[in-house]
């Protein structure tokens, strides 16, 4: 039997009431030091999450960049994120529709260096979500990421709101290619990817700034979220619209938020865990 309790309250009372320390209580203070250092996950939160997942039959996961940071990919808005790195132009300018056509070489220099998931593997969060889907408990993954790691981990029903770096197409003949053609174009005379069939310029199948989301993908995501009995939101600040607005279609039973930082929806959730998502989900058992 697992006793549910709030570590923060226990620590507060313990430190306030214990004015004298002797050897008898030394080991307890060592435990408190570890808890204050954040070295232990709150067992009560994991137990609650496990209980929610066990009782759910139609889970949908809505995720963002924080899901893939544990695989080694940078996010956008954290201290070490892409938006806080020094480039000739701001990243949000570089990965825009107009900039792609204005300075295609600079676009691809940034794109190859920062957005292609070369040598990146799925982490425990990706694998756990795939396991939940295989067990028939998870309906779909709705992701803002463009790295294809959910599919690489085994997820089948994935709605990629912002497209995928693993798909690229010719602007002239519309032939599709994988990411290899983008990587190899760095050695081309003009450092640009061209279609082997017609010579046309190739564009990544990702949604750039100033571009609209694919309506078929949006429709599928909305349908999945509206059917869910539990919506788990992970690794996203919920500040990127219109994608973040999709969670408003959820009318199910339990809303769970797994994110290292506070989000605008924290006060609406049934459970909030501010820990790395891979660390959290790796402790969940699929029953």
Pick the catalytic residue: 97, 126, 150, 162? 162
Q: What b/e string do you get for 56-93 counting C-beta neighbours within 10 Å, with b at 16 or more?
A: bebbbbbbbbbbbbbbebbbbbbeeebeeeeeeeebeb
Is residue 34 packed enough to be buried (19+ CB in 10 Å), middle (13-18) or exposed (0-12)? exposed
Angle at 3 between CA 280 and CA 261, to 5 degrees: 30
Compute the residue count for the chain: 287
Residues 6+ apart with CB under 8 A from 227: 58, 60, 139
Residue with tokens 């990421």: 145
Please list the residues that pair with 206 across neighbouring strands.
163
Q: How far apart are CA 284 and CA 125, in angstroms?
A: 10
Q: Are 123 and 70 in contact (CB under 8 A)?
A: yes
| 3-class state of residue 178 by DSSP | coil
According to DSSP, residue 147 is labeled S
Catalytic annotation on 162?
yes
Nearest in space to 234 (alpha carbons), one of 267, 284, 283, 272: 272
Helix and strand totals (H; E) in the chain: 12, 9
User: Which residues form the catalytic set?
Assistant: 162
């Amino acid at each position: 039997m697992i006793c549910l309790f709030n570590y923060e309250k226990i620590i507060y009372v313990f430190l306030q009431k214990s004015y004298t320390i002797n050897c008898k209580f030394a080991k307890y203070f060592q435990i408190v030091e570890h808890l204050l250092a954040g070295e232990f996950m709150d067992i009560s939160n994991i137990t609650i999450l496990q209980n929610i997942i066990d009782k759910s039959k139609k889970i949908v996961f809505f995720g963002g960049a924080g899901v893939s940071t544990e695989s080694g990919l940078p996010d956008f808005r954290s201290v070490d994120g892409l938006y806080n790195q020094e480039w000739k132009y701001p990243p949000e300018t570089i990965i825009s529709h107009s900039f792609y056509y204005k300075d295609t070489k600079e676009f691809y220099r940034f794109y190859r260096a920062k957005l292609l998931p070369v040598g990146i593997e799925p982490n425990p969060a990706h694998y756990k979500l795939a396991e939940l889907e295989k067990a028939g408990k998870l309906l779909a993954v709705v992701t803002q990421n463009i790295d294809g790691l959910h599919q690489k981990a085994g997820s089948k029903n994935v709605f990629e709101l912002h497209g995928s770096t693993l798909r690229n197409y010719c602007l002239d003949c519309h032939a599709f290619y994988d990411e290899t053609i983008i990587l190899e174009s760095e050695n081309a005379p003009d450092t640009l990817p061209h279609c082997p069939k017609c010579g046309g310029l190739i564009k990544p199948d990702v949604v750039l700034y100033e571009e609209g989301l694919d309506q078929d993908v949006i429709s599928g995501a909305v349908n999945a979220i509206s059917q869910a009995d539990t919506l788990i939101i992970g690794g996203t600040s919920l500040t990127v619209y219109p994608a973040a607005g999709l969670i408003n279609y959820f009318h199910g039973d339990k809303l769970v938020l797994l994110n290292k930082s506070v989000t605008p929806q924290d006060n609406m959730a049934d459970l909030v865990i501010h820990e790395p998502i891979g660390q959290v989900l790796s402790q969940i058992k699929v029953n």
